[in-house]
């Protein structure tokens, strides 16, 4: 019996492999069976460790809600995770099968290992061990594990509205769906970027046209789209949309200081990403830019003939998918308004515009206790959990955590704030090399084991002040 | 027995339907069987009308060469056609199956009906009827029917070099692979644009990256490609590459005059194409621009996630397919040099460029007898055939043909000029509504029947001066 299996609990790595084997791609209806499999896998684990499990239907993928009830005086923590994963394509770039988790040199490879199946498995294991060690632990725990995080958690907000009772009396949210710079440095994420995603389609003639017979006569939709897209940034790397930065708040000195403690080297990071240079607005390091600034990124473009060889057409239409990351104090509503206005004004003459909003997320910021220059009173259980986290991380990881904003978006964190006024402790567990949303996603098992110990002890100290 | 079947000859419409049923897409190896079927269909017809048929291998698709030999003193005409067609995609936009020719209200729909199977069938039928009526006709005829026209006739030049003997003593080339503005107005095409086609790929990081964790830090290849593409035109519609127009020759007054006789209305033409406005460099009408000016058109673009919903990645690469049409006196070699130089200079910092040349074609111009202000002596058989064409068109179509340059490219016409010093009479047979290279390609059967009569009589008068 290994350490990982101490106490008769399930082996988290074996369980994670099983969990990964369910291809739970929420974006594609073809994976409905995998969604069901992943959902029931996680529900089964929760039942095994003593939770009452419910699959709450939404308009698309049900949410797993699992409760450990208790005395109303006990603290109540919500542990969040998601059982859905990103699509695995491009498949040909995977070195191992994306849905057969493969262990190589202390890392587990497969779609969802890091985002979010591995980190969620750390929480499940920690809770299982904690309750095994102390069956009467004075702590109420509610797991909320959704199936639409990778497609924008569109139904999460209405779930919160309809099922407020299930989360009544919660003190804070605890989760691991954020990153750390190395296996040695814990980061507590205190801010997340929001998002406005949409698709632009420009079209012209009634059908594709022969580029010889009609070339040089009309505006080519690809040309028009290129001109429109090119207008959206300035040469120095800023987004070129009036008002785009108006709501961005000043970065506080402690934030820049914490970030500097990360000790990241631009050269090493460029090498790691395989890029020859960074492209960042003036006044920001690359590490600051991805945390403190909003963006406009192109996620996909398509139009005309993309097969082998040549096909000399002027295509009738061309499309681009864009997502903007927002920073705290920007709202999706307001940003969508100014972005769409700029796009509508820049459609080249002769082309028709179709602008389709896709998903949205509000940015998030929490100021942990003892950090802000202008501290606000925090609810006592949240403040206690934050302080417990600080101490446990120092003990288990050998140094204090850093408190950083992250570049990614976890829209439901903002929803939990707006709907239930709950803040979150985001304990990072994935590494830069974990290839989230990309081929060869992987998860460091030593981080997982350290994470289990950390989570278990944070919850214990939250229960026992 | 209908008129179309007079004299016991095959019915050209029925034969054309059979010919269309062979899906001869030269660009895609998956259609090898269709290529073979189309080749043997046309070879079979030629055998039936008394030609000796040979399939001359090339590096890719064999060329059908069929000869009617005769006394060396007889004129010798080469009739050119191509048995390959464009890919049929996007398939979902076809109203009828692309490879099951469907007759609707006097038009035949299917891939290749107009480009080039229908027009070639007109030549085959005309020659069949002519020889049936006059078995001893003093005319040598060589059909040359290639299978790579839609992918740039890359092997045609070396075929001409290796098989000069098969075409020895030829006086001129006769073909129908050009258009007419309406079923009432014949056009003899006297100029064709050339082409330089290529693909640009820009890449950055070693793999797709999460647009949250890395967004706003590096140059997105789609953004870089958009900026590069947007730089290639000026707002007034000219191509923005130094030297791009340097070699363009002055348009002669008779050319603009002939074009004005076309009597095209910009409003009607815009309505026909389904465009709200034209986009043409200053000083040119849309009809002049597509004939007298070179272009740079985008044929296809692709990169990142193009599926349903959102996938928030920064893609590792993005690609665009571009074709430039060239006008007489421009050479593919020189134009490629200046275009590639401009592109290389404009690659946004941080991105890697891969520039892949695709096909090329030299532009072509022939000045018909009695047209030029500075007439050159033309070979007597060519001049006779040009004058016969003028007279026959007046008789069959009720008015004289127009002599116009066209916007498309038929590279082998330039090859026949450069390798064998042969000029061509290009008798137009397809209409603007025939949707070449697009879904719902069709061919007007009344034009086909008039074309058969015209071709038959031109060849007869060329044989009997």
pLDDT computed for residue B8 by the predictor: 62
B421 band by pLDDT with thresholds 50, 70 and 90: very high
Cβ neighbours of residue B382 under 8 Å, at least 6 residues apart?
B171, B172, B423, B425
pLDDT recorded at residue B6: 42
Report the alpha-carbon distance of residue B112 to residue B442 in Å, rounded: 8
- Say if domain A3-192+363-463 classifies as CATH 3.40.630.10: yes
| pLDDT reported for residue A2 | 35
pLDDT at B3 > cutoff 60: no
Rounded to a whole number of angstroms, the distance from the CA of A254 to the nearest CA of chain B is: 21
For residues B418 and A433, give the distance between their C-alpha atoms in angstroms, rounded to a whole number.
58
Please determine, for residue A373, whether its predicted confidence score (pLDDT) is greater than 70. Answer: no
Residue B4 clears pLDDT 70, i.e. is over it: no
> Percent of chain A scored above 70 by pLDDT?
97
Q: Give the pair of three-digit tokens for residue B196.
A: 């330089």
pLDDT at A3: 38
Among chain B residues, the shortest Cα distance to A438 is held by B208
Percentage of chain B exceeding pLDDT 70: 97
A168 in contact with chain B, both atoms CB, cutoff 8 A: no
CATH number of A194-248+294-361: 3.30.70.360
Average pLDDT of span B61-67: 98
Separation between Cα atoms, residue B14 and residue B125, nearest integer Å: 12
Place of tokens 């998002």: A195
Please give the pLDDT value at position A440. Answer: 97
Lowest pLDDT segment from A6-15, A19-28, A69-78: A6-15
Share of chain B above pLDDT 90, in %: 85
pLDDT at residue B158 tops 60: yes
Q: Is the pLDDT of residue A386 over 60?
A: yes
Mean pLDDT of A22-38: 97
The answer to whether residue B252 scores a pLDDT higher than 70 is: yes
Which residues make up the CATH 3.40.630.10 domain(s) of chain A? 3-192+363-463
Computed over every residue of chain A, the mean pLDDT equals 94
**Starting at the edge strand that comes first in sequence, how are the strands of the sheet with B442-444 ordered?**
B102-104, B107-109, B442-444
Q: What DSSP string runs through A398-416?
A: SSPPEEEE-SS--HHHHHH
Give the 3-state DSSP-derived string for A126-177, with helices as H, strands as E and coil as C.
HHHHHHHHCCCCCCEEEEEEECCHHHCCCCHHHHHHHCHHHHCCCCEEEECC
Report chain B's mean pLDDT, rounded to a whole number: 94
Looking at chain A, the whole-number percentage of residues with pLDDT higher than 90 is 85
Q: How confident is the model at residue B465 (pLDDT cuts 50, 70, 90)?
A: confident
Interface test with B, best of A310, A322, A356 (most B CBs within 10 A): A310
A3 phi and psi angles, rounded to 5 deg: -55, -40
Q: Which of B89, B204, B406 is nearest residue A275 as measured by Cβ atoms?
A: B204
Q: Which residues in chain A are closer than 8 Å to B211, comparing Cβ atoms?
A: 295, 297, 299, 323, 325
User: Per the CB < 8 Å rule, is A279 touching B211?
Assistant: no
Judge whether residue B135 has pLDDT over 60. yes
- What pLDDT, on the 0 to 100 scale, is given for residue A311? 87
> What pLDDT, in 10s, does the model give residues A251-287?
988 999 999 998 889 999 999 999 999 999 999 999 9
What is the rounded distance in angstroms from the CA atom of residue A418 to the CA atom of residue B9? 82
Q: Is A60 on the interface with B (CB under 8 A)?
A: no
Residue A310 has pLDDT above 80, yes or no: yes
The residue that leads in pLDDT, B114 or A374, is B114
- In eight-state DSSP terms, residue B113 is I
Residue B375 pLDDT more than 60?
A: no
Query: B315 contacts in A (CB within 8 Å)?
Result: 298-300
Q: Which of A215, A299, A310 sits opposite B325 (nearest CB)?
A: A215
Tokens describing residue A178: 């954020």
Above 50 in pLDDT, residue A52? yes
Contact yes or no for B321 and A310 at CB 8 A: yes
For residues B125-135, average pLDDT: 97
**Residue A188 pLDDT greater than 90, yes or no:** yes
B291 touches chain A (CB under 8 A): no
Are B289 and A218 inside 8 Å of each other by CB?
no
Q: Cis before residue B90, ω within 30 degrees of 0? A: yes
Residues 6 or more apart in contact with residue A442 via CB below 8 angstroms: A107, A108, A109, A110, A113, A114, A433, A434, A435
Q: What is the pLDDT of residue B61?
A: 97
Domain with CATH 3.30.70.360 in chain B: 195-248+294-359
B227 vs A: CB within 8 A:
yes
Choose, out of B109, B189, B196, B217, the residue to mutate when testing the contact with A (most A CBs < 10 Å). B217
The terminus-to-terminus CA distance of chain B in angstroms comes to: 33
Q: Specify burial of residue B30 (Cβ count, 10 A radius: 0-12, 13-18, 19+).
A: exposed
Residue scoring higher pLDDT (A117 or B262): A117
How distant is the Cα of A19 from the closest Cα of chain B, in angstroms? 22
Q: Model confidence at B263, in pLDDT bands (50, 70, 90)?
A: confident
Give the closest of A206, A211, A279 to B299, CB-based.
A211
Question: Do residue B321 and residue A303 have CB atoms under 8 angstroms apart?
Answer: no
Torsional sign, CA B424, B430, B431, B436: negative
Assign B213 a pLDDT band (cuts: 50, 70, 90): confident
Q: How far is B173 from chain A (nearest CA, A)?
A: 22
pLDDT at A154 exceeding the cut of 90: no
CB contact set of A429 (below 8 Å; sequence gap of 6+) = A114, A118, A119, A122, A176, A178, A179, A180, A447, A448, A451
Over residues A122-137, the mean pLDDT reads 97
Query: How far is Cα A424 from Cα A172, in angstroms, rounded to an integer?
Result: 6
pLDDT of residue B2: 35
Contacts of B218 in chain A (CB under 8 A): 273, 275, 277-279, 286
Return the number of other C-beta atoms located less than 10 Å from residue B59's C-beta.
9
pTM: predicted TM-score of the whole model, two decimal places: 0.82
Taking the Cβ of residue A240 and every Cβ of chain B, the question of whether any pair is shorter than 8 Å is answered with no
Q: Is B407 on the interface with A (CB under 8 A)?
A: yes
Which stretch of A322-326, B260-264, B333-337 has the lowest confidence by average pLDDT?
B260-264
- Give A240: exposed, middle or buried? Use CB within 10 Å, 0-12, 13-18, 19+: middle
Q: Where in chain A is the domain with CATH 3.30.70.360?
A: 194-248+294-361
Domain at B195-248+294-359, CATH from 3.30.70.360, 2.60.40.730, 3.40.50.620, 3.40.50.300 = 3.30.70.360
| Distance separating alpha carbons of residues B37 and A148, to the nearest angstrom | 51
Residue that wins the pLDDT comparison between B252 and A220: A220
Kindly state the DSSP code that residue B377 receives in the 8-state scheme.
P
Interface pTM (ipTM) of the complex? 0.82
């Amino acid at each position: 019996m290994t350490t990982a299996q101490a106490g008769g609990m399930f082996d988290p790595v074996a369980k994670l492999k099983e969990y990964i084997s369910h291809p739970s791609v929420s974006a594609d209806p073809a994976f409905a069976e995998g969604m069901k499999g992943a959902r029931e896998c996680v529900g089964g684990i929760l039942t095994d460790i003593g939770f009452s499990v419910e699959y709450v239907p939404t308009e698309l993928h049900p949410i797993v809600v699992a409760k450990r009830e208790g005395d109303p005086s006990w603290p109540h923590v919500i542990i969040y995770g998601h059982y859905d994963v990103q699509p695995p394509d491009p498949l040909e770039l995977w070195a191992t099968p994306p849905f057969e988790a493969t262990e190589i040199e202390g890392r587990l490879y497969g779609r969802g290992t890091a985002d979010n199946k591995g980190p969620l498995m750390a929480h499940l294991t920690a809770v299982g061990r904690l309750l095994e060690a102390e069956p009467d632990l004075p702590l109420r725990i509610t797991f909320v594990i959704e199936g639409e995080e990778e497609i924008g958690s569109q139904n999460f907000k209405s779930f919160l509205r309809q099922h407020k009772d299930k989360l009544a009396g919660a003190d804070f949210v605890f989760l691991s769906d954020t990153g750390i710079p190395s296996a040695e440095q814990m980061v507590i994420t205190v801010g997340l970027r929001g998002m406005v995603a949409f698709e632009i389609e420009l079209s012209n003639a009634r059908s594709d046209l022969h580029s010889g017979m009609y070339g040089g006569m009309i505006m080519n939709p690809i040309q028009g789209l290129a001109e429109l897209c090119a207008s959206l940034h300035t040469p120095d790397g800023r987004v070129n949309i009036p008002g785009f930065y108006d709501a961005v708040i000043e970065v506080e000195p402690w934030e820049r200081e914490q970030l500097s403690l990360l000790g990241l080297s631009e050269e090493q990071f460029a090498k790691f990403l395989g890029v020859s240079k960074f492209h960042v607005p003036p006044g920001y390091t690359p590490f600051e830019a991805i945390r403190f600034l909003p963006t406009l990124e192109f996620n996909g473009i398509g139009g005309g003939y993309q097969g082998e060889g040549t096909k000399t057409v002027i295509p009738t239409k061309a499309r681009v998918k864009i997502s903007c990351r927002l920073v705290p104090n920007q709202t999706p509503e307001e940003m969508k308004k100014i972005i769409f206005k700029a796009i509508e004004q820049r459609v080249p003459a002769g082309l028709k515009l179709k602008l389709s909003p896709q998903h949205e997320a509000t940015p998030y910021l929490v100021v942990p206790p003892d950090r802000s220059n202008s501290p606000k009173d925090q609810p006592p259980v949240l403040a206690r959990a934050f302080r417990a986290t600080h101490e446990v991380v120092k003990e288990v990881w050998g140094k204090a955590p850093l408190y950083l904003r992250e570049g990614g978006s976890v829209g439901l964190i903002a929803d939990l704030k707006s709907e239930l006024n709950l803040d979150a402790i985001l304990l990072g567990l994935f590494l830069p090399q974990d290839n989230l949303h990309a081929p060869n996603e992987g998860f460091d098992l030593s981080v997982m084991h350290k994470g289990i110990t950390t989570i278990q002890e944070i919850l214990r100290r939250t229960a026992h002040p």
